[in-house]
Structure 1
C-alpha cells in the first residue's frame, strides 16, 4: 500500500531542497522525521510537514501504523517562478527569480 502527500507552491528553491529529499529516501518515518527536525536548512521544515501529513493520511485513510511505514520516494518539483526586478546603475535592471516548489512524499509499508 502506498500513501502520499503533496505540498504545493512552497517558497523555497527546488535545487536547494532536493538534497534533504534525497537524504530521507529509504528511511523509516521516525528516522526521516528526525533528520528533517535537526537539519538546519529551511526546506527541511517543509519536507517534515509533508512527511507528517503523509503519515497522518496513512493512519486515517488506510489504517496503517506510522511505525511500519518507510519513505519510498520524496521528490521536489519546480513550481511557478515569481519574477521581480532590481534597479541597477545607469537606469538598467537585473532580474530576480523567486522560485517555488512542489514537495511530494510517498510512503509504503513494504521494504
Structure 2
C-alpha cells in the first residue's frame, strides 16, 4: 500500500530542495521527520508538511491507522517548476535577468513490508 502527496510551485530552487531531500531519502517517516526538525534550511518545513500529507493520504485511502514506524519514504523527488523572469536595472540603461525558480515536490509513502524469515534447512 502506498500513497503520494504533491506540492507544486514552491518558491525555492530545486537545488536547495534537493540538498534537503537527499538526506531523508529511503528512510522511515519518523526518522525523516526527526532529521528535518533539526535542519536550519527554510525548505524543511515544506518537505515535512508534504511527508505528513502523504501519510494522512495513506490513512485516508485505506480507512485505517498505520504505525508511523512501519511507513517508509518510497520516493521523494524535487522537480523544476516554472521560472519567473524578472529584470534588474544596471549601468548604462541595461538590464540584467533575475530568475526566480520554483519547485514541484513529490513524496510517495509506502508500508514497509517485512522480509519473510528464511526457513532452517
Same fold (TM over 0.5): yes
Task: Count how many residue pairs are aligned between Structure 1 and Structure 2.
Answer: 111
1:43-54 equivalences under 5 Å are 43-54=43-54
CA distance in 1, matches of 2:36, 2:99: 26
The alignment's TM-score, normalised by the length of structure 1, stands at 0.94
Q: CA RMSD in A?
A: 1.2
Q: Using the TM superposition, give the Cα deviation of residue 5 of structure 1 relative to its aligned residue in structure 2, in angstroms.
A: 0.3
2:36 alignment counterpart: 36
TM-score under structure 2 normalisation? Answer: 0.86
Q: Structure 2: state its 5+ residue gaps.
A: 114-121
- Point out where structure 1 has 5 or more consecutive residues left out of the alignment: none
Supply the distance in 1 between the matched residues of 2:93 and 2:32 (Cα, whole angstroms).
49
| Maintained 8 Å contact 1:22/1:75 | no
**Structure whose CA Rg is larger:** 2
Q: Which runs of 4+ in 1 moved over 3 A?
A: none
